[in-house]
């Protein structure tokens, strides 16, 4: 009966509950890793600069260092008294002279401007010769000032951020050879169902290849998790309970797909209830909707729907935030991009929809023709998802909310 159905939760409400539960299980263990090896890890403490960056005034151009007052007019000729490359330490520059200087080299004391070499002509003569300066400089021209990027003692990276390649460069640039990071989440992956067969094996009548196992393991690896793959668990209550106990012994999160309904062969639900606690939610999203959440021992448990696209999208919008919250990182979904729809969506669902789309040559979004929750090809074809509010009709040319898969999978 409809009255017996659990109420639909909005995705925002479900996420709030999931994140709250994950925050109560936050991973506090900290590891110190070489900055070289910290890509994708979550910082456990701020990174504070031990130096000014740059550490001294330096030239941003190849050219000549001089006093601006010594060049009152274009065509002024000055003797060149020294040559300064990156890594050198120049001597004080006497009035009325110039120094040949290269990008990144420290500006010698006494100089207050750089004139790029394109505005100069090297002349012969004794020693380093002379230079004709064909441009009147202003003080400070082409000089990068000490500390203009980073000041000594400044926090350049904040605890809770996921380390990107550019963040590693910044950490190295302020002298951080190692970084404190949260321990990786340990996730136990559970597959249930006698119909599941591994690729490479014969496919009997009624069987299917276990695509979810491969997809979810890949998503967990992209999220920086240590994954314990428990394989395909036989459809027996005792085997399922045993697998859950083994998983809970070392995991922060147990993740499964399917098997939490009330069918006689669906043993995951009673197994989780026997070993821990379980809530079954109906979340107002499409594809998706059924979601199980609870715990077994000290590990969280999330049960995803069995249809592959439902499992894929529910992982992106529900499991990824949980993994972030476990690490003390930002658990919010990425901000959507406003882009133009190159399709019509005249019959929206009453639930919040995630439509598989990709960018066309004009920068608009085209729709995969089959939005069924079983069509895994759509997830490979797509560049991202349109986050469509409940009941929202889309007409060609409308602005929609676009979530790139690159942001959802590897943020």
Alpha helices in 301-341 (DSSP H): 308-314, 320-326
pLDDT of residue 241: 92
pLDDT of residue 211: 87
- Which residues 6+ apart lie within 8 Å of 369 measured at CB? none
CATH of domain 31-50+156-182: 3.90.105.10
Q: With 90 as the cut, is the pLDDT of residue 194 above it?
A: no
Between strands 63-66 and 76-84, the pairing is unpaired
b or e along 163-187 (b: 16 or more beta carbons within 10 Å of the residue's beta carbon)? beeebbebbeebebeebbbbbbbbb
Question: Three-state SS for 17?
Answer: helix
Q: Please provide the average confidence, as pLDDT, over all residues in the chain.
A: 92
337-410, superfamily in CATH? MoeA, C-terminal, domain IV (2.40.340.10)
Cα 238 to the center of its chain, rounded Å = 39
- Closest C-alpha among 204, 320, 213, 199 to residue 259: 213
Alpha helices in 331-399 (DSSP H): 377-381
- Closest C-alpha among 231, 203, 199 to residue 217: 231
- Which residues 6+ apart lie within 8 Å of 16 measured at CB? none
Q: With 70 as the cut, is the pLDDT of residue 167 above it?
A: yes
Phi, psi of 19 (to 5 degrees): -65, -40
pLDDT digits (tens, 9 = 90+) for 322-355: 999 999 999 999 999 999 999 999 999 999 999 9
pTM of the predicted structure, to 2 decimals: 0.86
pLDDT of residue 264: 44
Measured CA to CA, the distance from residue 146 to residue 106 in angstroms comes to 10
Measured CA to CA, the distance from residue 6 to residue 369 in angstroms comes to 32
- Closest C-alpha among 108, 116, 107 to residue 137: 116
Q: Does domain 58-144 have CATH number 2.60.130.10?
A: no
Least confident range of 20-29, 266-275, 362-371:
266-275
pLDDT digits (tens, 9 = 90+) for 41-87: 999 999 999 999 999 999 999 999 999 999 999 999 999 999 999 99
* Structural fold of domain 2-29+184-326: Molybdenum Cofactor Biosythetic Enzyme; Chain A (3.40.980)
Domain ranges of the chain: 2-29+184-326, 31-50+156-182, 58-144, 337-410
pLDDT digits (tens, 9 = 90+) for 122-138: 998 777 899 999 999 99
Which residues in 19-87 belong to E strands, given as ranges? Answer: 30-34, 47-48, 58-59, 63-66, 76-84
Residue 372: half-sphere exposure toward Cβ, Cα within 13 Å: 6
Could you tell me the two tokens for 16? 């709030």
pLDDT of residue 266: 67
pLDDT of residue 3: 47
pLDDT digits (tens, 9 = 90+) for 286-303: 998 889 999 999 999 999
- Closest C-alpha among 352, 382, 349 to residue 368: 382
First CA to last CA across the chain, in angstroms? 41
pLDDT of residue 6: 65
Range 16-41 average pLDDT: 95
């Amino acid at each position: 009966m409809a009255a017996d159905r659990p109420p639909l939760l909005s995705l925002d409400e479900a996420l709030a509950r999931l994140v709250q539960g994950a925050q109560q299980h936050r991973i506090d263990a900290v590891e110190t890793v070489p900055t070289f090896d910290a890509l994708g890890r979550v910082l456990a403490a701020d990174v504070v600069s031990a130096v000014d960056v740059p550490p001294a005034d330096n030239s941003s151009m190849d050219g000549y260092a001089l006093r601006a007052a010594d060049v009152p007019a274009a065509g002024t000729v000055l003797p060149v008294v020294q040559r300064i490359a990156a890594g050198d330490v120049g001597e004080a520059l006497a009035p009325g002279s110039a120094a040949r200087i290269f990008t990144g080299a420290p500006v010698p004391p006494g100089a207050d401007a750089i004139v790029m070499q394109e505005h100069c002509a090297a002349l012969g003569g004794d020693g380093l010769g002379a230079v004709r300066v064909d441009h009147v400089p202003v003080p400070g021209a082409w000089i990068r000032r000490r500390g203009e990027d980073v000041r000594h003692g400044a926090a350049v990276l904040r605890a809770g951020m996921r380390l990107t390649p550019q963040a590693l460069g910044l950490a190295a640039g302020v002298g951080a050879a190692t970084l404190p990071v949260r321990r990786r989440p340990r996730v136990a992956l559970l597959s249930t169902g006698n119909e599941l067969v591994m690729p490479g094996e014969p496919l009997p009548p009624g069987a299917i290849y276990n695509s979810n196992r491969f997809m979810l393991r890949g998503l967990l690896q992209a999220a920086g998790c240590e994954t314990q793959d428990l394989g395909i668990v036989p459809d027996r209550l005792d085997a399922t309970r045993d697998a859950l106990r083994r998983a809970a012994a070392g995991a922060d999160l147990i993740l499964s797909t399917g098997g939490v309904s009330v069918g006689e062969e669906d043993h995951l639900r009673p197994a989780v209830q026997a070993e821990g606690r379980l809530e079954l939610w109906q979340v107002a999203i499409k594809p998706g909707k059924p979601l199980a959440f609870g715990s077994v021992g000290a590990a969280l448990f999330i049960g995803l729907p069995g249809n592959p696209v439902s499992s894929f999208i529910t992982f992106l919008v529900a499991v990824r935030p949980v993994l972030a919250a476990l690490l003390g990182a930002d658990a919010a979904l990425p901000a959507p991009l406003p882009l133009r729809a190159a399709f019509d969506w005249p019959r929206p669902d009453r639930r919040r929809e995630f439509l598989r789309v990709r960018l066309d040559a004009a920068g608009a979004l085209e729709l995969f023709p089959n939005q069924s929750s079983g069509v895994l090809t759509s997830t490979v074809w797509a560049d991202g998802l349109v986050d469509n509010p409940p009941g929202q009709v889309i007409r060609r040319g409308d602005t929609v909310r676009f979530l790139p898969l690159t942001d959802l999978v590897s943020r």
